[in-house]
Amino acid sequence: MNKKVILTLIGIIIGAVAGYLYYLNIGCESGTCAITSKPVNSTLYGGLMGGLIFNMFVKTPKKE
């Protein structure tokens, strides 16, 4: 696999775990928070953010 894909997948996994842990520890008990009121939303959002953040560290080759 490509180094860019592997790094992005690692970011998605770490972000998803962090999102779920955020839901467990902090979360929104009243249900009015769109992202943190459900574990699925929090996990998916964390995975998206983790993938985007880790994707920033991939160096692209310069075209000459």
Q: What is the pLDDT of residues 13-62, one digit of tens each?
A: 999 999 999 999 988 877 788 888 889 999 999 999 999 999 998 887 78
Read off φ and ψ for residue 37, nearest 5 degrees: -80, -20
Query: What pLDDT is stored for residue 51 in this prediction?
Result: 95
Instruction: For residues 39 and 44, give the distance between their C-alpha atoms in angstroms, rounded to a whole number.
Output: 9
**Any domain includes 64:** no
Residue 42 lies in a domain: yes
Determine whether 21 is exposed, middle or buried from the number of CB atoms within 10 Å of its CB (0-12, 13-18, 19+): middle
Does residue 61 lie in a domain region?
no
Domain-located, residue 20: yes
Question: What is the reported pTM?
Answer: 0.84
Residue 63 lies inside a defined structural domain of this protein: no
